[in-house]
Amino acid sequence: MNKCDQCIVRQLSSLKALNKEEVVKLANSKTTHKIKKGEAIFEEGEVTNGVFCVKDGIGKLSKLSANGKDQIVKLVKSGELLGQRSMISNEPANLSAKAIADMEVCFIPKSEIIHFFNNNNQFSMNLMQSVCEDLKDSENDKIALVQKTVKQRLAETLLHLHDAFGENADKTLKVQLTREELAGMIGTATESCIRLLSDFNKLELIELTGKKIVLKNVKALKKLAEQL
Amino acid sequence: MNKCDQCIVRQLSSLKALNKEEVVKLANSKTTHKIKKGEAIFEEGEVTNGVFCVKDGIGKLSKLSANGKDQIVKLVKSGELLGQRSMISNEPANLSAKAIADMEVCFIPKSEIIHFFNNNNQFSMNLMQSVCEDLKDSENDKIALVQKTVKQRLAETLLHLHDAFGENADKTLKVQLTREELAGMIGTATESCIRLLSDFNKLELIELTGKKIVLKNVKALKKLAEQL
DNA sequence: CTATAACTATGACATTTATCATGTTAGAGT
DNA sequence: ACTCTAACATGATAAATGTCATAGTTATAG
């Protein structure tokens, strides 16, 4: 069993507030899991009874619609927690969590989290703040969906991916999404997304080499994302 | 000063977890305000330094876009808290809160809320759950915005208004929104909203008498809202 | 009780975006 | 290396929705 006190991830999540004793308790109750790209951590409707802490890799939270499209609500990376919302609300998961790149996650049982929540004010405040952050993001996304065009949302999303996940040595975006997934993030049809990427490519806002994407003109993308 | 222990509202919000002593403390620090229809409780960007508890009336949380449209994120009624998110995140308000019907609200300073949060596990859990509930709603709204047509969203919103706010003796919806506000809720142009309301009227799904709306065929509206 | 503004309504049209069809390319597995 | 499948790409078209124009209607202040 990995010792949690050496896990860098702990520094990033709400768990950073835990004291030595609590970390030991955590290490004894958590279980570690490897999730391959494409596999699910949990599915919509499942009762998880705990939270997952992302140690490595990238995951997506999404919901399948009646017409078969997968709307991506959020991407998660190292240091983030998954499943807090439904755990706190005592509800089955509202969204599915799947790996976009191979992941390593730790499962922490509900009883532990509740215990920390009730006994460590800093932890409960951290957890609260992370949910509040999600709420703010979600509200802003909602507004963007209504007030911005698909083109603007694509520009915005590319910038966000760059910001949140960074780039490789060759300047390509680190997150590797299929066009379909990217379309699912911005809420549009796959074809529309592909078309706009081509447009951006022609306008030299981005560069497409295979499925790798390089942001060539961040300033222009920003302008595009902002402007009315 | 009103005594909080007699306030029915307290039974509805996270504040229901407070004990006798805490309620006294609350009563001594809160201030009560009357907000006229159309007036703001707080505006986007303001630092509120506390939360507002809605005692009576109906308010909207919204964000003004560059093109002058007001996107409504949520309606709030008696028993709900306003401004928790930005208070917890230590940020200026992300949204404006305005009265849609004359309101009475109590302002509770941040220091009180934090004190309760740190000393009353049931309160902090309640508060957490209410934010989680908001998050879930927001995520579902987001998905609906992408996956449903304007027509479906209008049907859904009418049902939600009926559900959440109820009807008057004459069966008309209790919340009285302008067409512009309703459009702002479903994320569409005012004209489109008006047009669809007319359609619904012709199809006898609803009845329009002036700006009052009666849901005539709830079943059909539900079907419309759900179906692909 | 009128004047004036705000709200509601509807038509005509433009634009955006989805859908369908079809072809190409790239990557995984044998 | 060769297939086979999934992913990418693009054109043609249709559908949904936004925008602009204009007019009727209601509410409200003076």
Query: Is pLDDT of B8 > 60?
Result: yes
Residues B95 and A139 sit within 8 Å (Cβ to Cβ): yes
- DSSP code at position A213: E
Q: Tell me, what's the pLDDT at B64?
A: 86
Statement: the CB of A68 is under 7 Å from strand C: no
Which of A95, A132, A228 minimises the CB distance to B89? A132
Q: If you write DSSP's letter for every residue of B130-174 in order, what string do you get?
A: HHHHHHHHHHHHHHHHHHS-HHHHHHHHHHHHHHHH-B-TTSBBS
Domain that holds residue B83: 4-120
In a domain, B22, yes or no: yes
- CATH number, domain containing residue B193: 1.10.10.10
- CATH number, domain containing residue B28: 2.60.120.10
Residues A131 and A89 sit within 8 Å (Cβ to Cβ): no
Query: Is pLDDT of B131 > 80?
Result: yes
The mean pLDDT of A168-172, rounded to a whole number, is 92
| B8-17, B51-60, B86-95: least confidently modelled range | B8-17
- What confidence tier does A227 reach under pLDDT thresholds 50, 70, 90? confident
The mean pLDDT of A144-158, rounded to a whole number, is 95
Domain count, chain B: 2
Residues A210 and A118 in one domain: no
**Using CA atoms, how far apart are residues A129 and A115, in angstroms rounded to an integer?**
18
Residues A83 and A186 in one domain: no
**Using CA atoms, how far apart are residues A147 and A142, in angstroms rounded to an integer?**
9
The mean pLDDT of B146-153, rounded to a whole number, is 95
Residues A151 and A126 in one domain: no
Question: How many contacts, defined by CB atoms under 8 Å, are there between A and B?
Answer: 117
Nearest to A32 by CA among A62, A2, A77: A2
CA of B179 to C1' of C8 (A): 8
- One-letter amino acid of A127: L
The mean pLDDT of A32-47, rounded to a whole number, is 94
- Provide the β-strand partners of residue B19: none
Question: For residue B220, is it left (φ>0), alpha (ψ between -120 and 50) or beta?
Answer: alpha
Q: What residue has token string 């403390």?
A: B25
CB contact under 8 A, B143 and A63: yes
Query: Is pLDDT of A139 > 80?
Result: yes
**Using CA atoms, how far apart are residues A70 and A44, in angstroms rounded to an integer?**
12
H/E stretch holding A180 reads helix A179-186
Give residue-wise pLDDT tens across range B191-208: 999 999 999 999 999 999
**Using CA atoms, how far apart are residues A187 and A129, in angstroms rounded to an integer?**
27
CB contact under 8 A, A124 and B131: no
Query: Is pLDDT of B91 > 80?
Result: yes
Domain boundary among A83, A111, A132: A132
Residues A193 and A92 in one domain: no
The mean pLDDT of A170-176, rounded to a whole number, is 93
Residues A95 and A73 sit within 8 Å (Cβ to Cβ): yes
Q: Tell me, what's the pLDDT at B172?
A: 94
CA distances from B42 to A127, B38, B93 (A): 26, 12, 8
Q: Work out the angle at residue A155's Cα, subtended by the Cα atoms of residues A149 and A158, and round it to the nearest 5 degrees.
A: 135
Residues A118 and A163 in one domain: no
Q: Tell me, what's the pLDDT at B67?
A: 75
- What confidence tier does A9 reach under pLDDT thresholds 50, 70, 90? confident
In a domain, B137, yes or no: no
Torsion of CA B20, B25, B28, B30, to 10 degrees: -100
In a domain, A139, yes or no: no
**Using CA atoms, how far apart are residues B57 and B32, in angstroms rounded to an integer?**
14
Residues B28 and B76 in one domain: yes
- One-letter amino acid of A167: E
Residues A13 and A122 in one domain: yes
**Using CA atoms, how far apart are residues B100 and B175, in angstroms rounded to an integer?**
8
Query: Is pLDDT of B228 > 60?
Result: no
Statement: the CB of B197 is under 7 Å from strand C: yes
Statement: the CB of A194 is under 7 Å from strand D: yes
Give me chain A's average pLDDT, please: 93
CA of B24 to C1' of C20 (A): 67
Residues A206 and A216 sit within 8 Å (Cβ to Cβ): yes
